[in-house]
Amino acid sequence: MHDFSYKNGELYCEGVAVNAVANRVGTPFYLYSSNTLTSHYRAFQSAFEGVPHLICFALKANPNGALLRLLGKEGAGADIVSGGELFRALRAGIDPKKIVYAGVGKRRDEIEYALKVGILMCNVESGEELLAIDRSASEMRVRAGIALRVNPDIDAGTHAYISTGLKKNKFGIPIEQALEYYQTARKLHNVEVIGVHQHIGSQITEVKPFVDAIERLVQFVGELKAEGIDIKFINMGGGLGITYKDETPPHPRELSQAIQPLLKQSGCTLVLEPGRAIAGNAGILVTRALYHKDSEVKKFLIVDAGMNDLMRPSLYEAYHDIKPVVEPASADHTVVDVVGPICESGDFLAKDREMPEVKPGDLLAVMGAGAYGFSMASNYNSRPRVAEVVVKGNEFFTVRERETYDDLIKGEKLPRWLVG
C-alpha cells in the first residue's frame, strides 16, 4: 500500500501534485508520504497486538528527523548502528528505553554515549565487544542491558550483499557457540543479559526464513532458561521485504500469525526492527529528463539524478519502477537505459527498461525509494545532496534543504604552507 497515484493523468503524493513540488524545490528531490509511513507502522503495531512487543524502526533505512519524529509520535522505538544514529533518534524525541544498538564495530565513545543516555540494550556481536561494554559500564558505574546477536545460519534467500544470517557473514555469534558466550556474559558484573537478537537479512519476501529463525531462537531461549539465564526480549531484527517489481512479500499480519504461537511459548517480549517495510514505499525520488542519446546498441535517457542520489541500482542491480509524473498521451514505448550524470558506467537507475516516450524536461518518479535512498546518498562528483520533502494531505514541507556548494566544502581547511 502507498499513497502515490495518478489523478487525471498526473502523479500525486496524497493530495499534492508531484509536479507542484518540483516547481517549488527543483529537481532531483525525495518525496515522502507521511500517511504511507504511519500506515505501515500501524500495520506492524496491530499485527503484533497479541504479544508484548516493541517496534524499533531501523534508522539506517531513513534517518530524516521529520520522519523519525512522526514515527516516534506513533510510539516507535529505534534500531541504531552508530553514535550518529543515536544522536538523531534522541533528537527526534525517541525514548532511550526504546532504543536498541546493533553493529559489529561499536567504538568506545559510541558505547559510552549509549550507556550515558541509558538505551534499552546493546546487541553484542562478538566476545571482545562484550568485554569492552562491560569495561565501559564498570568505569561509568552503570549496568549495561545487553542481548547477544546470534547467527542462526539461515538462508534468507535474498541478495548476497544484504544477507546477514549465514555462517560466512560477519554478523553475530554462531548459534552453536552462543551458550558459551551467554555463560561468560552472566559472570560479568556490569552487564545485564536481557535479550537475544538476530537479523537474517533484508528484502525477505517469504515467511519461512523468519519462522525457521524464530524457531531456533525460541529453542535457544529454552536452553538458556535451563541454564538459569532468563531472557526477557527476543529481537527478530528487520528484513521484511516490499514490492519493487512483482514481489509478493507477506503482510506483517501473516508474519505475526506464523510466529506468534512460537513466541507465546517463550513468554518473551518481541522486538522488531523493520526499516524497508515501513519507509521503502513511502518515498520516491523525483528526477528530470535532460537528454536522449542513442548509440548503435543502446538508447540512453539521461536524467538529473544519479547513483550518488540513489545507489541501490548500481550497488545491487536493484529494480526500481520509474513512472512518468505526467502520463504521456502516446502509448509508444522504447527500451532505454536510464542513466545519471555521474562519471561511472555503473551510474544507472534502470537498464534495458521499457519506458513510455519521455521528452527532455519531463519529470520521472523513481518508486520505492524511501528506504536506503537518501540514507545511502553521497556527494560523489561534488554533487550537493538533494532536498527531502514530506507530504501530509494537501500540504508539503521541505524537511531537508538541498545542499549548497558551500555545504560541499564545509569543514575543509588549508594548511598554513598553502595559504597566500
Q: What is the 3-state secondary structure (H, E, C) of the chain?
A: CCCEEEECCEEEECCEEHHHHHHHHCCCEEEEEHHHHHHHHHHHHHHCCCCCEEEEEEHHHCCCHHHHHHHHHHCCEEEECCHHHHHHHHHCCCCHHHEEECCCCCCHHHHHHHHHHCCCEEEECCHHHHHHHHHHHHHHCCCEEEEEEEECCCCCCCCHHHECCCCCCCCCEEHHHHHHHHHHHHHCCCEEEEEEECCCECCECCCHHHHHHHHHHHHHHHHHHHCCCCCCEEECCCCECCCCCCCCCCCHHHHHHHHHHHHHHHCCEEEECCCHHHHHHHEEEEEEEEEEEECCCCEEEEECCCCCCCCHHHHHCCCCCEEECECCCCCCEEEEEEECCCCCCCCEEEEEEEEECCCCCCEEEECCCCCCCHHHCCCHHHCCCCEEEEEECCEEEEEECCCCHHHHCCCCCCCHHHCC
Give the nearest distance from C-beta 330 to ligand LLP in angstroms: 34
- Following CA atoms 186, 190, 194, 197 in sequence, which dihedral angle do they give, to the nearest 10 degrees? -90
Q: Which is nearer to ligand LLP, 241 or 324 (CB)?
A: 241
Within a 10 A sphere around the Cβ of 373, how many other Cβ atoms? 26
Q: Which is nearer to ligand LLP, 28 or 239 (CB)?
A: 239
Give the residue from 213, 104, 196 showing the smallest Cα distance to 156: 213
Residues that bind ligand LLP (CB under 6 A): 58, 60-61, 79, 102, 162, 199, 202-203, 237-240, 273-277, 312, 316, 371-372
Q: Which is nearer to ligand LLP, 11 or 54 (CB)?
A: 54
Give the nearest distance from C-beta 271 to ligand LLP in angstroms: 10
Q: Which is nearer to ligand LLP, 259 or 363 (CB)?
A: 259
Give the nearest distance from C-beta 335 to ligand LLP in angstroms: 25
Give the nearest distance from C-beta 130 to ligand LLP in angstroms: 17
Give the nearest distance from C-beta 210 to ligand LLP in angstroms: 11
Pick the catalytic residue: 13, 122, 268, 343? 343
Q: Which is nearer to ligand LLP, 60 or 383 (CB)?
A: 60
Dihedral pair phi/psi, residue 331, rounded to 5°: -90, 5
Give the nearest distance from C-beta 82 to ligand LLP in angstroms: 12
Give the nearest distance from C-beta 142 to ligand LLP in angstroms: 23
Q: Which is nearer to ligand LLP, 125 or 337 (CB)?
A: 125
Q: Which is nearer to ligand LLP, 14 or 125 (CB)?
A: 125
Q: Are 145 and 185 in contact (CB under 8 A)?
A: no
Q: Which is nearer to ligand LLP, 136 or 235 (CB)?
A: 235
Give the nearest distance from C-beta 269 to ligand LLP in angstroms: 17
- d(Cα 123, Cα 59) in Å, to the nearest integer? 15
Q: State yes or no: is 13 an active-site residue.
A: no
Catalytic residues: 343
